[in-house]
């Protein structure tokens, strides 16, 4: 790092800075200090400065998976605004601050396959490994080869292989140890299938395209179809549409053991009748993944539910939204009501997907 970098870190720091505008919920109080870093060196300098001073650190990318307390964050919020898109054949390297959805578009324009169904997911490239983002049959764990991160415990930059990232459904080593790694760069191996997509895994996408799961279509067509499906569910950011003032899915899909699933089915049929058939997807080792959206809907929380400033999206049961005037406490009250209602109806406790800062459900 040279002196110019240090100067820039100082220049882009702000005290008592509002964090709500940095989040897609538009919620949360101020940070004691907000640093915006535009190079890896600035990121590392800001992290080291906070760690040396024993100051709590909150890393923010696109703010699309964050629920921040109304009281704000007493520490340094580090906004990662680094840039870097490098495509070498089928090898892609993205700086953490790159806009994810734009990067997907560029790879599709280059005729490559592997992440085209992840179009429209808001936020930064550097956050994609954190919860192993996924949608429409793809997740980043299938294409990430390496993650370059600053390891706060070791005090150095490290390169983690895909295996070392310990990816699973909406989870990773980074989410497991949130205060250890700051992602700087993410590397992917894409596929050159002559302009075609990867085989489509998701039935809804295949149906929309009039093809069978497992088929390939032009990668650009797959991307556009996913974007259209997402937009219909309020899952593409649109500042004018309060249905997108959210964190996308607020709850993860529950994964049940065989015994839990059997008990769940009994409960569902007691409540909804013998023909009730909740979605069930095999998840290995006899486990079954069911649908959080189905549970919420059948527990009586339908689209548009709520009368206050925080409500369920009118387009998707799984998205909790800020209608414009909500506070984080309003949002959490709604989230607790939904979680407790689902538990009372079906005996399953939903777990929030977004990261909570200074609050919990
Ligand atoms: C409308 C909408 C639709 C969505 N659809 C999907 C979807 O289909 N699939 C899906 O998986 N997610 C979805 N999401 C959730 C969200 O977009 C993703 O989780 C995304 O990867 C978050 O990126 P971000 O940069 O906004 O992260 P942030 O919200 O800024 O941060 C999220 C977490 O990651 C950490 N973090 C961020 N950057 C770094 C970094 N460089 N190093 C270390 N830690 C970091 C933060 O500290 C925080 O803990 C959706 C959200 C919205 C609003």
CB 15 within 8 A of CB 32: yes
- The whole-number pLDDT of residue 5 equals 43
Task: Supply the pLDDT for residue 188.
Answer: 98
CA dihedral 170, 323, 226, 351 (to 10 degrees): 20
Give me the pLDDT at residue 91, please: 98
Q: How far is the CA of 244 from the centre of ligand 1 (A)?
A: 14
Residue 168: both structure tokens together: 């699973």
Query: Is 141 known to be catalytic?
Result: no
Strands 66-68 and 355-357: parallel
- Predicted confidence at residue 298, as pLDDT, reads 96
CA of 124 to the centre of ligand 1 (A): 7
DSSP 11: H
Distance separating alpha carbons of residues 127 and 132, to the nearest angstrom = 8
146 a catalytic residue = no
- Ligand 1 pocket by Cβ (under 6 Å): 24, 59-66, 80, 96, 121-124, 126-128, 130-131, 133-135, 178, 181-183, 235, 237, 244, 246-248, 355
Nearest CA to ligand 1 atom 40: 183
Tokens of 15: 């005290």
Listed in order, strand segments (DSSP E) in 162-220 are 181-189
Compute the distance between CA of residue 150 and CA of residue 138 in angstroms, rounded to an integer: 27
User: Which atom of ligand 1 lies closest to the CA of 181?
Assistant: 43
Return the residue whose CA atom lies nearest to atom 18 of ligand 1.
65
Indicate which atom in ligand 1 lies nearest the CA of residue 244: 1
Atom of ligand 1 nearest to the CA of 80: 41
Strands (E), 99-155: 134-135, 138-139, 144-151
CA of 102 from ligand 1 middle (Å) equals 15
| Angle, CA 329 vertex, CA 170 and CA 134 arms, to 5° | 15
CA of 3 to the centre of ligand 1 (A): 32
Q: Which atom of ligand 1 is nearest to the CA of 133?
A: 11
Mean pLDDT by 10-residue block, N- to C-terminus, for the chain (361 residues)?
42 89 98 97 96 97 98 98 97 98 98 98 98 96 98 98 96 96 98 97 95 97 98 97 97 95 94 92 91 97 97 98 98 98 96 97 94
* 65 alpha carbon – ligand 1 mean position (Å): 4
Instruction: Please state the atom number of ligand 1 nearest to the C-alpha of residue 64.
Output: 26
Neighbours of 253 (CB within 10 A): 21
What does the pLDDT read at residue 284? 86
The rounded Å distance from CA 182 to ligand 1 centre is 14
In angstroms, rounded to a whole number, what is the distance separating the alpha carbons of residues 76 and 57? 5
* Choice among 64, 124, 246, 249 that is catalytic: 249
Could you report how far apart the first and last alpha carbons of the chain are, in Å? 41
Give the pairing type, strands 57-60 and 281-282: unpaired
Q: Whose CA is nearest to atom 3 of ligand 1?
A: 248
- d(CA 154, CA 163) in angstroms, rounded, equals 19
pTM of the model: 0.94
């Amino acid at each position: 790092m040279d002196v110019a970098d240090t100067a820039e870190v100082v220049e882009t720091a702000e005290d008592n800075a509002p964090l709500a505008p940095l989040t897609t919920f538009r919620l949360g109080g101020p940070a004691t200090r907000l640093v915006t870093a535009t190079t890896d060196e600035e990121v590392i300098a800001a992290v080291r400065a906070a760690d040396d001073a024993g100051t709590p650190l909150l890393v923010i990318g696109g703010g699309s998976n964050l629920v921040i307390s109304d009281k704000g964050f007493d520490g340094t919020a580090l906004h990662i605004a680094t840039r870097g898109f490098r495509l070498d054949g089928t090898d892609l390297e993205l700086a953490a601050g790159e806009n994810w959805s734009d990067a997907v578009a560029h790879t599709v324009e280059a005729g490559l396959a592997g992440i085209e169904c992840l179009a429209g997911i808001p936020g930064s490239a550097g956050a994609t490994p954190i919860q192993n983002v996924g949608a429409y049959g793809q997740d980043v764990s299938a294409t990430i080869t390496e993650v370059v991160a600053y390891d706060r415990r070791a005090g150095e930059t490290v390169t983690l292989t895909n295996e070392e990232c310990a990816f699973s459904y909406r989870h990773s080593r980074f989410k497991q140890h949130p205060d250890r790694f700051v992602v700087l760069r993410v590397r992917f191996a894409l596929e050159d299938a002559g302009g075609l997509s990867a085989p489509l895994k998701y039935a809804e996408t295949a149906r929309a395209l009039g093809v069978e799961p497992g088929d390939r279509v032009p990668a650009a067509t797959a991307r556009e179809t996913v974007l259209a499906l997402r937009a219909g569910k309020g899952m593409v950011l649109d500042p004018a549409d309060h249905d997108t003032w959210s964190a996308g899915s607020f709850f993860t899909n529950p994964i049940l053991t065989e015994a839990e699933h059997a008990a769940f089915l009994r409960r569902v049929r007691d409540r909804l009748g013998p023909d009730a058939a909740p979605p069930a997807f095999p998840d290995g080792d006899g486990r079954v993944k069911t649908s959080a959206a189905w549970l919420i809907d059948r527990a009586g929380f339908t689209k548009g539910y709520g009368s206050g400033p925080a409500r369920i999206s009118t387009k998707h049961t799984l998205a909790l939204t800020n209608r414009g005037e909500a506070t984080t406490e309003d949002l959490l009250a709604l989230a607790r009501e939904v979680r407790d209602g689902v538990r009372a109806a079906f005996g399953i406790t939903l777990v929030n997907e977004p990261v909570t800062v200074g609050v919990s459900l």
